[in-house]
Amino acid sequence: MNPVWLIAIPLALAFVSAFWRSVSGWVLIIAAFFNAFAGVFGVMSLTVTSFSIGGWKAPYGISLLVNDATKLLLPVANILFLFAVLSYLRKGGETARYSVVFLVALASLNGILLTNDLFNLFVFLEIAGITAYLLASTGEGSGSKVASFKYLIIGSVGSLLYLLGVAILYGAAGTLNISELAARVSSGQISGDVTLVSSLLIVAGLGVESKLLPFNGWVPDVLTKSSRVATLVLASVYPLAMVYAFSKVLLAVGDDRVMSLVILLGTATVLVGEVLAFSQKSLRRTLAYSSIAQSGLAIFLVGVGSVESVTGSIMLLINNALSKFMLFSIDDQVIDEAGRDDRDTLYGYGRKSPIVGVTFVISALSIAGMPLFFGFRGKLNAISASFDTSLAVPVVILVAAAIEVTYYFRWIFTFFNPVGTAQATEKRMLPSVEFLAFGLVLSTVIVFLGVSSGEAFTMFERAADSLVNGVLAIGKAILGGM
């Protein structure tokens, strides 16, 4: 199956629902189901190959690349999107009104994961960015609109800098295809000044969306103020695509000096994110800062650049997507029932609603990196990869991990604290059906991946290898054939 269908179908359905408003909710569900199925069955059966758009061979045309990494990430992204859309099916409301935005977001996220062309990536980043600004503005009151505006300004500056970096790279190298550029850069054909400046600009550009310090001023407000479904998608699927785009481009055309800078920025992001998350009183803000820290960790691993560390990065990304989805859903449940999500409200919540409590434990421990859960493998990779760099870096990462474990345990104890107030006398509350279903599926996946033996992890290693080495190999083939 040509992976273009993953992009073309949501886009076509988005155009339809622009003028046929009444069917837009159904159309969104159809598109999400199609993408989830196509993402799993259509993509898994393909061999490593690139699909050219318009029939023009790369690098003269745009090509879509399906390698082991995309074969892993595409199904995850599409299925999570489907879950997010289905979660709020019954509550309707703004999901139906914004269904056009969700459809275009789905198309653009798939485009970011698939494309192998720098300028095409820019266009899809812009589409994803604009849908993100719109999704961020869905909260109640004007606070979400101010947060969305700030996000828009920072995001537009970022994509401007990225475009400048791409232009400089084109001026020197004469091509826009990522694989061919990887081959040219690694063989030293491009002058050092050009790779340095363009890599810096690209890091600035892609770093905005990837929540890298110092570009992540937009994250807390946006993730705390937007509405339910929007937050789910923004916090779980978007980071997957954005950090993957960051890895894809920088592993191909990045300058070595800039990679060291990326290591530094990533580590700083982790530390700042965890420290700020520690002192938050509201669960949602904690999760927002925790997202910053997770992205920082994944990007730090990309900066190190070896196959082992990129394996860890991919595992962290997927773990973050699954767990954050659960955590933000739990937070929504709580706000639904009790109206707020600060520590007092959550006292003993886990005892009243044990399913919610258990899923919280599983997702929180997975993000914190406890053994038996998926996050442990990624964290292990991160720490062992950090020993390859200077000595200060592992210390910082370990400190940050310690802080993370502490505050997640604090929240878990809050959930199961028997010293409840008047709320302890109420009957047991059952969460919604969708929550039960998705909670079951995602928790099972997290635990399964955590306890399974090494063979399951070769697929992550192959994914990382295709990112680090595979793109380069394709580029050399293109150069050889020209």
Partner 1 sequence: MIQYFSMMLVAVGLYGLLSQKNLVKLIISLNIAEIGVNLFIVSIGYVEGGAAPILSSVSDNSSLLFVDPLPQALVLTSIVIGVGVTALALSLIVSVSKSRNTIDITELSSGGGDSE
Partner 2 sequence: MKRIISALIALLFFFMIVTALNSDSSDSMGIPRYGEVKLSERVSAKYIEKSVNGNEDEINFGVTVDAETGSANMVTSIVVNYRSFDTLGEVTVLFISATGVGLLLGGGRKRIGSVISVSPVVKTASRVIAPLLMVLGIYVFAHGHLTPGGGFPGGAIIAAGFLLLVVVDDEKRASKGLKILEGTMGLLYVFIGIAGLLISGSFLSNFLPTGVVGELFSAGIIPVVYSIIGLKVGAELSGIVDDFISEGGDEV
Examine residue 133 and tell whether it contacts partner 2 (CB under 8 A): yes
Site for partner 2 in 390-419 (CB under 8 A): none
The residue within the footprint of partner 2, chosen from 16, 23, 89, 335 (CB under 8 A), is 16
The residue within the footprint of partner 2, chosen from 26, 44, 49, 57 (CB under 8 A), is 57
What HEC string does 239-273 produce?
Answer: HHHHHHHHHHHHHHHCCHHHHHHHHHHHHHHHHHH
Give the other-Cβ count within 10 Å of 421's Cβ.
Answer: 10
DSSP secondary structure code for residue 142 in this structure: T
Stretch that binds partner 2, among 35-43, 140-148, 311-319, 323-331 (CB under 8 A): 140-148
**Least separation, in Å, of the C-beta of 109 and partner 1?**
18
Give the C-alpha separation, 321 to 457, whole Å: 18
* CB-nearer residue toward partner 2: 252 or 315: 252
Ramachandran angles phi, psi of 48, nearest 5°: -60, 120
Examine residue 361 and tell whether it contacts partner 2 (CB under 8 A): no
Picking from 162, 339, 338, 468, the residue whose alpha carbon sits closest to that of residue 348 is 338
* Three-state secondary-structure class, residue 98: coil
**Least separation, in Å, of the C-beta of 96 and partner 2?**
12
Examine residue 265 and tell whether it contacts partner 2 (CB under 8 A): no
* CB-nearer residue toward partner 1: 166 or 182: 166
Q: Which residues contact 42 (CB under 8 A, 6 or more apart)?
A: 1, 3, 5, 6
* CB-nearer residue toward partner 1: 145 or 351: 145
CB 472 within 8 A of CB 182: yes
Report the Cα 305 to chain-centroid distance in Å: 19
Stretch that binds partner 2, among 188-196, 274-282, 285-293, 364-372 (CB under 8 A): 188-196
Give the C-alpha separation, 91 to 140, whole Å: 16
Contact positions vs partner 1 (CB under 8 A): 119, 123, 126, 130, 133-134, 137, 141-142, 145-146, 148-150, 152-153, 156-157, 160, 163-164, 167, 170-171
Q: Which residues bind partner 2 (CB under 8 A)?
A: 2, 4, 8, 11-12, 14-16, 18-20, 51-57, 59-62, 97-98, 100-101, 104, 107-108, 111, 119-120, 123-124, 126-127, 130-131, 133-134, 137, 140-142, 145, 164, 168, 170-176, 184, 188-194, 196-198, 200
